[in-house]
Structure 1
């Protein structure tokens, strides 16, 4: 039998199915979903100057995306509780195929490729069992290879750890069912968990928040090069309470929770949208679109180092000297000592700004 490498090399040598990398589309740095003025939902590739290098149509509103580590391919995921994920050839703008969640499942809007790009992992809801699963897809033809439990309820974001063999899962703890849309069905008993699985599905470690914070849904993740995980949370409890919305964890250690002073924290409405480490890893930040703010913290001591008012800011990614961010008002900006608007294309950016990890 020919090896996968020989098979792909053969495809690349033909004019029918060329395999092209990210340089073929201008070497974009980020992917982001957006709503455009003509009413279309699209997936865009952005550079660090805020320029849109391509924008490709989606069948409905997108949430986040996954970028193939080698090929100029992106998988755009439907917003929960959507059942589609579109695989796009970013060099031609054509749809390669469309993933449909199996019966009894829906996507949560996030996924990640294996380091060699041979597999795609997707966060999903087994809604009849009220349990989370991780779907596994073969990227040769994007057929489903199987699934395994996510280690909790409501797996939302997922990141590959630096070892290339471990998945960090944000099990948000919230039970939902398509028949009731986005209604949260188990708030009194929800149990958010940060779960580490190996890529075969074995649970390696799980950590939970203190009992008093069991309604603080763990939603989005960032991973530093040394394996430190940051997680952003969304509070489902008493609106008079203003708990931390950012946590840090290293495997084998206890959680660290970071928060602004009460007077500032109370303006965030219990909601963090995205989370990222700065390019140098010294600080970590969350976006708070309901509070129209971006909060930055020192990783070393957990102290708040900046509060930056930004209307409807949500997308966030690392930059060489700080962060890049997007807003629902169309801004693409950079944050170093303070925020700087790089571009303002005529669109409304959705929740996330996904870095493209291009080969060295």
Structure 2
């Protein structure tokens, strides 16, 4: 038994111990997964000027990371369908926890924190039924799994949280099974949706597109300060169809779909890889690595600017405008034109850039 005086002393020491913040990790502005010229996979922290703040090895290809809102901690997810995620201390570079999806589940590559960073929410597939699930993990208990709720759709991919802990889920509508790799098993019957879900699993609101767009898989999300949600889509039909790949939604209203002109829309090849708002919320953009395009829209007028960049995909807000990454190691600022911010020789950035 620990003597009472020693026990109280340990509590006081714990209370007075300094809590690390993102400043202790070099105050990065963004996190991005990448691969170097040797084939090694990495999680990299970048400053606002594009300078590298840290570089942490990953055991396999990363997809996206969930950044803790205050602690210098990131949860790096394996590319779907992945069965593990790594909790990384971005100050020391140490892997502090390894999350393993339960039997009969796999991760979809994204997560979000709620409850002030105490609970991690992960998008998952219930393999046998195909139902989407959201796993709940307690950070205070060492990332112990404490439950799960329904995503209210099939193939939940990206997930965001609001300040009042409502979960916004991009249900892509595509059923997969680990035995079939990344094969899409239900394309004719797809029903993608944007779901707003309470932490107890209650479906608060659902957005479903018109029937002629049921092949438009809702995949990635961004949220503006006024609550507007942007959703990026990936068309599972004929890529020559110039379907809209970006939608905007506010709770209680109908979705609003945005498109560029015919030639530019076709140049996207039916694929939006990432989406982000500018910090002011005045602009929203999507990227297409397949088309080598960035489409940047003015939210108020729907006016669109098209920018060309080979293999561009990662996208995040910056102090001024937006910043993007590409498969050739480039970090670029997007304003009225493409402005080089940094270049990493031999590095290939993966799909997403996570803003801190």
Interval containing the TM-score (normalised by the shorter chain): over 0.9
Aligned to 2:316: 317
1:263 counterpart SS class: helix
Aligned to 2:199: 199
Aligned to 1:327: 326
In the TM superposition, residue 12 of structure 1 has moved relative to its aligned partner by 6.2
Unmatched runs of 5 consecutive residues or more in structure 1: 1-6
Q: 2: CA distance between counterparts of 1:115 and 1:226?
A: 20
Aligned to 1:340: 339
Aligned to 1:38: 38
In the TM superposition, residue 38 of structure 1 has moved relative to its aligned partner by 2.3
With the length of structure 2 as denominator, give the TM-score of the two structures: 0.94
In the TM superposition, residue 70 of structure 1 has moved relative to its aligned partner by 1.2
Q: 1: CA distance between counterparts of 2:126 and 2:96?
A: 26
Q: 1: CA distance between counterparts of 2:16 and 2:57?
A: 28
Q: 1: CA distance between counterparts of 2:276 and 2:31?
A: 15
In the TM superposition, residue 115 of structure 1 has moved relative to its aligned partner by 4.8
Q: 1: CA distance between counterparts of 2:106 and 2:298?
A: 37
Structure 2 counterparts to residues 276-315 of structure 1, below 5 A: 276-304=276-304, 306-315=305-314
Structure 2 counterparts to residues 1-360 of structure 1, below 5 A: 11=14, 13=16, 19-140=19-140, 141-161=142-162, 163-304=163-304, 306-346=305-345, 347-356=347-356
Moved over 2 A (4+): 7-14
In the TM superposition, residue 240 of structure 1 has moved relative to its aligned partner by 3.0
With the length of structure 1 as denominator, give the TM-score of the two structures: 0.93
Structure 2 CA distance for partners of 1:134 and 1:8, relative to 1, 3 Å? farther
In the TM superposition, residue 11 of structure 1 has moved relative to its aligned partner by 4.0
Q: 2: CA distance between counterparts of 1:10 and 1:343?
A: 43
Q: 2: CA distance between counterparts of 1:230 and 1:317?
A: 13
- Size of the aligned set, in residue pairs, is 346
Structure 2 CA distance for partners of 1:8 and 1:323, relative to 1, 3 Å? farther
What does the per-residue CA deviation read over 1:211-262, in whole Å, with 9 as the maximum and x for residues that have no partner? Answer: 0000000000000001100000000012331200000000100010000111
In the TM superposition, residue 49 of structure 1 has moved relative to its aligned partner by 1.1
Q: 2: CA distance between counterparts of 1:287 and 1:8?
A: 49
Q: 2: CA distance between counterparts of 1:137 and 1:85?
A: 12
Contact 1:280 1:320 in 2 (8 A): no
> RMSD of the alignment, in Å?
1.5
Q: 1: CA distance between counterparts of 2:297 and 2:11?
A: 44
